[in-house]
Structure 1
Amino acid sequence: MTRSEGPPGVLARRPAEQTRRLLLRGTSGVVGRCRGFTREALDDWRWLPAGEPGAGPAGSPDGDGADPLDEERLAVAEDVLLLVSEVVTNACMHAGGPTELVLHHTAERLRIEVSDGSPEPPRPRPGRGPAQPGGHGLVVLGRLARAWGWRPTEAGKTVWLEVIPPPAGRPAAPPAGPRASG
């Protein structure tokens, strides 16, 4: 999707509210599909720095290195992708795979929901040391998400989490071509 630039000095606006749904079945390739779906939404919502989606921070306008705002936006987007990976992986490992990924975006937050067919609530694994692989997904959720929880559904459960949006983009670049001075 091509981004349209506004007039010079005007901050790029994000859509006020939008919900995107991805219906899922099975476990094969589902984490990558969910990450790709989420990355596309983040790019559309201008959570990623300008340029290639997820390619890294763009240089600052004066060419002196990375723009701190772009670095922050990229860091938040990478956190979101990690959180999606964790919740979807948990559904694959403990519930036979997710049935749906929902991204609900507002100006105040991004709510991510992953539904699966198991009524069992998410539970931390007891006695796992920090150096042991596996069992750390809920710790990651607790550290990176503003809030998270779960609710029972008729078909199983939905695990949800919320993330605060990154700072808005820098002012749009002036249009190319001759400019009137005045």
Structure 2
Amino acid sequence: MAGDVRAGRDFTTRVLDEWGRPGGEALRADMLLVVSELLSNALVHADGPVELTLLRDGPIARVEVFDTGDGRPEPRNPTDAAHPGGRGLHIVGRLSADWGVVGHDRGKTVWAELDLPA
């Protein structure tokens, strides 16, 4: 599990370097955290991530994690003692301009979009 998240973070760092490091260290930190949370969710709550995609469209960076699980992620109450954790999607929501889920016949893609500075 940790290896998949680490590989995703390494990939994200390389892509941001190729993009010329828009937003500097602040955006890099936010992107790495969003990638980590989405990959971790796919590993814990689905059948593991199948594909991580990073896209840039003008002022938007989009993170997509495809997995073959059939569940639909929803933010949980992070203060619920009966179910530890539950902060991942709240973190994604705070760091991204928008996020969502697209279902497919073989699974789903969970995506998040972050604003790139002008």
Q: Is the shorter-chain TM-score for this pair beyond 0.5, marking a shared fold?
A: yes
Determine which structure has greater relative contact order: mean sequence separation of CA pairs < 8 Å that are 6+ residues apart, divided by chain length.
1
Q: Is residue 2:85 matched to residue 1:134?
A: yes
Which residue, 16, 38, 42 being the options, matches 1:42? Answer: 16
- The structure in which a higher percent of residues are strand is 2
Separation in structure 2 between the aligned mates of residue 103 and residue 46 of structure 1, nearest angstrom: 14
Correspondence list, 1:160-179, <5 A: 160-167=111-118
**In 1: Cα distance, 2:36 partner to 2:10 partner:** 11
Larger of the two Rg values belongs to structure: 1
Identity, in percent, stands at 42
Q: What's the CA shift for 1:96?
A: 2.1
The answer to whether the 8 A contact 1:97-1:116 is kept is: yes
Q: Is the 8 A contact 1:47 1:165 kept in 2?
A: no
Counterpart code for 1:34: G
Higher share of residues assigned helix: 2
Displacement of 1:97: 0.8
Cα distance, 1:165 vs structure 2? 1.1
Give the direction of change, closer, same or farther, for the CA distance of 1:46–1:144 in structure 2 (3 Å limit).
same
Per-residue deviation, 1:112: 0.7
1:91 and 2:42 are equivalent in the alignment: yes
**1:66-125 Cα shifts (integer Å, max 9, x gaps):** xxxxxx521111000000000000000000210000111122211110000112110222
Contact kept, 8 Å, 1:47 with 1:166, in 2: the verdict is no
Structure 2 counterpart of 1:114, from 40, 48, 65: 65
Superposition pairs of residues 143-182 of structure 1, within 5 angstroms? 143-167=94-118
Alignment root-mean-square deviation, CA: 2.0
Unaligned stretches of 5+ residues in structure 1? 1-26, 49-71, 168-182
Aligned length: 117
TM-score between both structures, scaled by the size of structure 1: 0.59
List runs of 5+ in structure 2 lacking aligned partners.
none
Distance in 2, Cα, partners of 1:108 & 1:99: 27
